Every structure is written in C-alpha cells, then in structure tokens.
Structure 1
Amino acid sequence: MKNLLKLLPVLFLFATVLVACDKDDDPVIKSPKLTAVKYNPNSITSKPKIAFKSSAIEITPDKAKATFTIKDIKKDGEKFTNPGKKEGFQIDANGKVFADKDHKLGNGVYVVTVSAKDASDSKNVKTTTIKVIISDLEKLTSIVYDPNNITGKLKKDFKSSAVKITPTKAQATFTISKITKDEKDFTNPGEGKGFKIDASKGEVYAETEHKLEKATYVVTVTAKDKLDNDVVKTTTLKVVID
C-alpha cells in the first residue's frame, strides 16, 4: 500500500503529460481573419418573373469563412423594401444573391448591399454591393449610322437617318458630345442655329435657318443605355455642307 502511495505522484504526472500531448496533437484550428469581400462580376441582368442568381462572393483570404445577409437594397436610387415570402431578393450560404421565378421585383436598377460576418470574429463585418438590373429591355452593345454621312446645303434643313442600335430591343438616350469642322474642334452655334439631335432616335439635323458654313463636319454622338446608365457607346456621322 505504501509503495502504491509513493507511485501516485508519478502516475499523476504521467497522466498530465499524456493529456498535454493529446491537446497538442489535436489543436483547435481557426479560420484566417476576413479582410475583404466582393462580387465578380458585380452586376447581373434579368427579366421580370424569371429566376436569376449571382456568382458567389469572392472572399479574401480565400480560406476565411463568413455568414452573409442582405443589409440594404436601393431601387433606382431610392430605398427599397424587400418583398417577403420569397417574393424578393434572397441570399444563400455562399453569398449568391438570387430570386425565384415567381418573384415580384419590378423593372428597375437595384443595388443590393450584402454584409459578411467573419466566422472567427463576429465583430469583423465587411460589406459589398451587387447591381441587379431587371427589365424587358436588352443591354446596349453598339450603335452606328447607316449611311454614316449626309450632305446639307446652306440655309436648308437636313436630317440624318436614325441610329441603328444593337441589339434591337435596347434603348438609349442620344446627345452630341463633340463636333469637328475640317478636322478642327468646332463649337456648335447656339439658339438652334447649329446641329441638333433627336434624343430618342439619334437623328442629327439642322433647321432651315442654320448658320453652319460650307465645310466637312464630323459629329460624335453618345448613346447612354436606358437599361444601365453605366453603359455608354459612341459613333460618328460625317456631314458635308456645300
């Protein structure tokens, strides 16, 4: 019995060492700290009553983990309340923003702000946004005049053809962004005495009493996509007045 009592401290020390070794062999591994999140691409386009889904959020570093929620939504620049009962925007565990086919999101440009909470530190929260365009229109890809030159006369009205848009279901707003006269920058006469443009069709024209002199003009026309104002295309039209 006495010998057993003498061995107890040794046995206790041995057990402590075994437990310590076991802990070292099976450490608790924490995911790295979340530093940034983003969508790539950061915009998607869909039509009404058609299901859509974004890409997953890209996480930095890639081994970090997070939980995602929709923090805020704006529609056409105004605050928007997300419809309930799966009729609006939803988000999955990978940060994919989506809507079911029977969603009730109307035509508009939505900016969805997504919040990512770090799994290893709940106080570490990052945010990013994704643009969702819902419309029956299609995104503008190109514009051109065909023919791309016209002839005008002094003190006589003239008009170009309308701009040809690709795809045909796209819509745009047109403005004159630059004019050259005989290859030099030209300031368009005011009070309707120079070049004008039909904002919806892109027709470049001048009225009968215009003050444009004999010369070769190159009119640069800019088209801003009605579906997505960030999409801007340009083309040129040559106007020879003799």
Structure 2
Amino acid sequence: MENKGCSGGDQSVQRRRDASSSSVPQHGISFQGIDTADGTQPLPQQQSVIPATAQGKRNADEITDPKLAKKRQIDKASKEKKKAMQEQIKSDRDELQTENLRLKLEYNPLMRSLEILKDQNEQLRLGKQEKDELMKSYMETLKAENEQLKIQIREKETQLSVAKEERFNALLAKEKSESENNLLRIQLENAQLQIRQLRQSTEPAQLQNQYGNSMQIPFAVGVGEPSWNGVH
C-alpha cells in the first residue's frame, strides 16, 4: 500500500508541475499527457480538473510530508482505538446497568426478607427478655420459698429434738419410778414376810402361856378364820 502511495505521489507531483505550466482555473488542476482508458493520448485541448477539497489537500500534504502522514495515521489509529474503547465502555456500562437492575430486583425481596427477619429477631429478643425476667422472678420466689422451708425444717427438727429429749427423760423417769416401785414392793413384801414369820414364831408361845396346854386357841373374828370356843 505504501509503494502504491509513493508511486501515486510521484505522478501527482509531476501532474502538479505540468499543471503549473499550463493555464488552469484557480481552484483546479489541468492534466496533460495522461493515457486514457483505451490507451490513446487525449487531445491537446482536453483538460482534467480535480477540485481542491480539504481531503485532497490533506492527501497532498501527506504525500509531500511523510512524517505528517505517519502522524495522521497514528492519530487515526488513536482515534479508532479511543472510539473502540468508548464503545467498550458504553457496552460495559450498559451491561453493568443491566446487572445492577437485576441485582436490585433480587436485592429488594432480600431486603424485605431481612426486615422481616429483623422484626422476628426483635420479637424473639423481647420474648426472651420477658421470659428471662419471668424466670428470674420465679427463681427468686423459689429461693425465698426454699429459705422459708429451711427455716421451718430447722424449727421442726428443734421441736422433734426437744420432744425426743422430753420423751427420753419421761421414759427414764418412768423406768426409775418403776424400779423404785419394784424395790419398795420387794421391801414391803419382805417386811410382810418378816411380820408373818414373827407372828408365827410368837403366837404359839403366847397362846400356850395364856391357855396352858389346852388346844382351845381363840382366833379373832372377822379375819376370815373360825373362832374356837372349846369345840373341836
């Protein structure tokens, strides 16, 4: 492509030189001595005029100044690259907007669900707090009742201990009293036995001294034994 451009550039220069030597309008270039399509030479009076447009001028400048042509090629490539980047950015922006819309559509229900969950969590927290307070009050009540029961148990234990001690003392006193009674009864029985023995030992001698050898022994009436009146 560059070789063709250079060849065309040489021809253009030659044409411009030829045109400068001929009489042409101010805004046109006259070409002479150019082969036509059928290979014949044009007539001397024929002239081909190209309007001096801005594009034509730029092309001519590029032909005469290769650095300018390269700069313009770089600028063109930069513009195309910039345009491509802008298009890519626009495409990415459109894609992001679409994705953002999709996320919003998904985000809104999630936010509503989150709000519902927050409300439920708050209700649960309040319920738990109320439950904890009730439990605390219940535990305090149980603690107070337990302390009261402990006091009552201690009182009952004290009363029972006192009752046991009193019963033990009573049983001990009863046993002591029974023992003393038994001892007194034994002593009484011994005394009675001694009295009977003394009576038995002394009555025959007294009767014999009173009545002699007679067998008439009087007995006291009313003691339960018959009285002897001298009759057997």
Please state which band the TM-score falls in when normalised by the shorter chain: under 0.3
Q: Which structure shows the higher strand fraction?
A: 1
Q: Which structure shows the higher helix fraction?
A: 2
TM-score (norm 1): 0.18
Largest Rg, 1 or 2 = 2
Question: Larger relative CO (CA 8 A, sep 6+): 1 or 2?
Answer: 1
